[in-house]
Amino acid sequence: MPDPIYQFEVKRLFPLEIFGVDATFTNSALFMVVGVILSFGLLMYASRGRSLVPSRMQSIAESLYEFVAGMVRDSMGEQGMKFFPLIFTFFMFILTLNMLGMVPGFFTVTSQIWVTAALALLVFFIVIVVGFAKNGLGFLKLFVPDGVPIYVLPLVSLIEVISFFSRPLSHSLRLFANMLAGHITLKVFAGFIIMLLGAGGAASALAPLPLLAVLGITALEFLVAFLQAYVFTMLTCMYLNDALHPGH
């Protein structure tokens, strides 16, 4: 049976070192570059007509734009729109890499914990910087919810602090685990088909069953690929909203 973990192995394509840091160009880096070119290229290609009545491709680009813009406006209000380029970048980056990972044989960058952790920590630090820059020490009101009786306030504040600092953990693990689990499941079920066929006889007759399962899971994984990009972006919006309006 093929190793279901093998697909997550980062392969060193050619070594590189920048200022003493290991910057080897890996398959992960290759797909990041491809993802950037693909997402930017598709958006540019789709909007090349700039027509008032959009073509099909232009509608897709505009839908993505409006989808994220709506998300930003709904969660942060109009003043959140200055974060729109950042949020849109998060969404396009994760969505493209998730979708690229769905192509058989392609590497899924978002199934690497270091990548998702870095993205989540980026959000975490942006929230802290923006929070203090916007509100000064008023940002700490985030940990002191309104209308809580004084005798439970220490407990509530402690919970708020813990939940705040566990955000990057859940934020990164959610994306990482979803992509990882989905791809492992796909690989395992696909492996069953080969095993059953290899076994011969009555077992081979059962081979279509995992094939159907793989079909269903593939569809599900496309949904998950989109959904996790959406969830990551949505959470980023909500966290940034805390930075803009800490007083709950």
Partner 1 sequence: MTEPVTTGTEVPVSSTANKVFPPLDPTTLAPQLVWLSMTFVALYFLLKKIAIPRIGGVIEERQNRIQRDIDAAEKLKDEVDGAMKAYEKSLADARGNATAIARATNEKLTAEVDRERAAVETATAKKLADAEIRITATKQKALESVGEIASEIAGPVIKQLTGKDVSADEVKRALNPGAGE
Number of H helices, E strands in the chain: 8, 4
Interaction between residue 26 and partner 1 (CB under 8 A): yes
Token pair of 230, please? 């959406």
Q: How far is the CB of 29 from partner 1 (least distance, A)?
A: 3
- Phi, psi at 181, each rounded to 5°: -65, -40
Burial class for 132, CB neighbours closer than 10 Å (0-12, 13-18, 19+): middle
Sole binder of partner 1 in the list 1, 2, 33, 170 (CB under 8 A): 33
| Contacting range for partner 1; rule: CB under 8 A; set: 15-23, 98-106, 139-147, 207-215 | 15-23
Q: How far is it, in rounded angstroms, from Cα 40 to Cα 47?
A: 11
Among residues 81 and 199, whose Cβ is nearest to partner 1? 81
Q: How far is the CB of 140 from partner 1 (least distance, A)?
A: 29
Compute the 3-state secondary structure of the chain and give helix, strand, coil in percent, each to the nearest 5: 75, 5, 20
Q: Residues interacting with partner 1, by CB under 8 A?
A: 5-6, 8-10, 12, 15-18, 20-26, 28-29, 32-33, 35-36, 39-40, 43-44, 47, 50-52, 54, 58, 61-62, 65-66, 84-86, 88-89, 92-93, 111-115, 118-119, 122, 176, 180
